[in-house]
Amino acid sequence: MGGSNPIKLDAASQMQETIVLLPDKTGLSTASAMLQDGQLVAFPTETVYGLGANARNDRAVAQVFEAKGRPSFNPLIVHVADVAAAHKIAQFGAEADRLAAAFWPGPMTLVLPLLPQAMVSPLVTAGLESVALRVPEHPVAQGLLTAFGGPLAAPSANPSGRISPTRAQHVVQGLDGQIGAVIDGGACPVGVESTIIGLLHEPVLLRPGGLPLEAVEECLDRGVPYEALGAAPNAPGQLASHYAPSVPVRLNAHEAVEGEALLGFGPDIRAAALNLSPSGDLVEAAANLFHFLRKLDDEGCPIAVSTIPNKGLGRAINDRLKRAAAPKD
Ligand code: TXA
Ligand code: MG
């Protein structure tokens, strides 16, 4: 509500200086100590930067929602160092074990039944009896999880509704003064968030992401349907306008019209302000996506985007672009 709201004033008085840590031994032990102390630390993963909090500390998890300005019905992903740690948090069936063995560590999140003895804050799961779990591969994320020695709740480290950060500097731009620290591990190699697979009943794709759906289907030897967002009561609504630049975004553009900047893909695109991948490589395009959307957003003119093939990482790219283009209210 208004600026006179005492809770807001209180939050403002808690503004702190966000420190940038190096991804070395000292940086990781400082980050781990801050997390033990209940502070928030952003860290790189192979997908995007995560905003980490001790998943067992209610207060720290609550601060994640506050720092992001995120609707609190949206549960967070729990990050652990390895499959053994994951088994202490959720119940794994045969298909979960198969996927974990094939793709962890890596850009895949599994939604599984939460074990009662997992002891994660109910804020992490938004009160659901399921939990989203991921074992990231990035050496800095691995180093931090090992140093910390427990589960870290970590959504993408951006203010709610904004583009996910793929550089430490993006995190600082969005959350400076709201979080304790960010570990600077450079650019995130995958560049889009993890693929989320729901395994509460039959396997479903909840969010296309950095692991191609084709790989998941091949591993399980069956089709994995996309469960339309918000269709099931347990699938937390992802806001339509998510990953949103502040300028209008037009999809499947053949060329830019007057005043637009063209975000191209592939070799046939002329006059692109930026090209996600001149060679037409979807992996390269995913890695560049959020970085380039930010760059064009900063220039302030509407963005026209070329057609991206809807296969492999193209599914995740098109999903994010659709949200970027959704009407903002
Ligand atoms: O790549 C990623 O997944 C990044 C990095 C930091 O790991 N994290 C990320 O987190 O994208 P976040 O919080 O921005 O997205 C988490 C998604 C949300 O859409 C949330 O609704 C869904 O996971 N989710 C979390 N717990 C869930 C649950 N129990 N059931 C269904 N969906 C869940
Ligand atoms: Mg996010």
DSSP string of 25-93, one letter each residue: HHHHHHHHHHHHTT--EEEE-SSSEEEEEETT-HHHHHHHHHHHT--TTS--EEE-SSHHHHHTTB---
Q: Tell me what pLDDT residue 202 has.
A: 96
Report residue 36 CA to chain centroid gap.
22
Q: Tell me what pLDDT residue 231 has.
A: 44
Residue 328 pLDDT > 80, yes or no? no
Closest Cα to atom 12 of ligand 1: 155
Which one-letter DSSP state was computed for residue 183? E
Closest Cα to atom 15 of ligand 1: 155
Q: For residue 207, which phi and psi values (nearest 5 degrees)?
A: -150, 125
Closest Cα to atom 10 of ligand 1: 155
Q: Which of 28-32, 208-212, 243-247 has the lowest mean pLDDT?
A: 243-247
pLDDT tier for residue 271 given thresholds of 50, 70 and 90: confident
Mean pLDDT within 244-262: 92
Q: Which of 193, 195, 229 to mutate to test the pocket of ligand 1 (most atoms within 8 A of CB)?
A: 193
Mean pLDDT within 253-270: 92
Q: For residue 121, which phi and psi values (nearest 5 degrees)?
A: -55, 135
Residue 281 pLDDT > 60, yes or no? yes
Q: Which of 40, 51, 73, 76 to mutate to test the pocket of ligand 1 (most atoms within 8 A of CB)?
A: 76
Q: Tell me what pLDDT residue 229 has.
A: 52
Who lines ligand 1 at CB under 6 A?
45, 47-48, 50, 74-77, 109, 111, 125, 128, 130-132, 134, 154-156, 193-194, 196, 206, 234-236, 238
Residue 137 pLDDT > 90, yes or no? yes
Q: Which ligand lies nearest the alpha carbon of 144?
A: 1
Q: For residue 132, which phi and psi values (nearest 5 degrees)?
A: -95, 125
Which one-letter DSSP state was computed for residue 156? B
Closest Cα to atom 7 of ligand 1: 50
Mean pLDDT of the chain: 90
User: Could you tell me the distance, in angstroms and rounded to a whole number, from the CA of residue 308 to the centre of ligand 1?
Assistant: 24
- Identify which has the larger pLDDT, 230 or 97: 97
State whether residue 261 is helix, strand or coil: strand
Reported as a single tens digit per residue, the pLDDT across 163-202 is: 999 999 999 999 999 999 999 999 999 999 999 999 999 9
Closest Cα to atom 20 of ligand 1: 75
DSSP string of 184-224, one letter each residue: ---S-SS-SPPEEEE-SSS-EEEE--SS-HHHHHHHHTS--
Residue 232 pLDDT > 90, yes or no? no
Please name the amino acid found at residue 242: H
Q: Tell me what pLDDT residue 267 has.
A: 94
